[in-house]
Amino acid sequence: EIVLTQSPDTLSLSPGERATLSCRASHSVRSTFLAWYQHKPGQPPRLLIYATSTRATGIPDRFSGSGSGTDFALTISRLEPEDFAVYYCQQYGASPPYTFGPGTKLEIK
């Protein structure tokens, strides 16, 4: 099983600032198989990025993904008030389980 760890656990920033969230895998993950989701209370998770760096339909270009191998990142270039949420990475590797990271909570400073 591929274990994903995310850092930091909580990130406190102000609107307008840049956010960088990290996702590290216990084994190498093909770039095709790494995705990022945004989750707000009372809503289902929302797909932001798939295949490491491809934005899903309707996702603003302030969201970008990068990385390879075991180290991946989600960057939000300029935070908007609606961006404060929990962010999860997920790997859809060669075999199940298709694990999620524990999440990073992005909160308003």
Q: Contact residues for other proteins (CB under 8 A)?
A: 1, 32-33, 35, 37, 39, 43-47, 50-51, 54, 56-57, 88, 90, 92, 95-103
Closest to other proteins by CB, 51 or 108: 51
Q: Tell the smallest beta-carbon distance from residue 56 to other proteins (Å).
A: 6
Assess contact for 71 and 5: CB atoms under 8 A: no
What stretches of the chain adopt beta strand conformation (E)?
4-7, 10-13, 19-25, 34-39, 46-50, 54-55, 63-68, 71-76, 86-91, 104-108
Closest to other proteins by CB, 15 or 32: 32
Q: Tell the smallest beta-carbon distance from residue 34 to other proteins (Å).
A: 8
Assess contact for 104 and 9: CB atoms under 8 A: yes
Closest to other proteins by CB, 47 or 73: 47
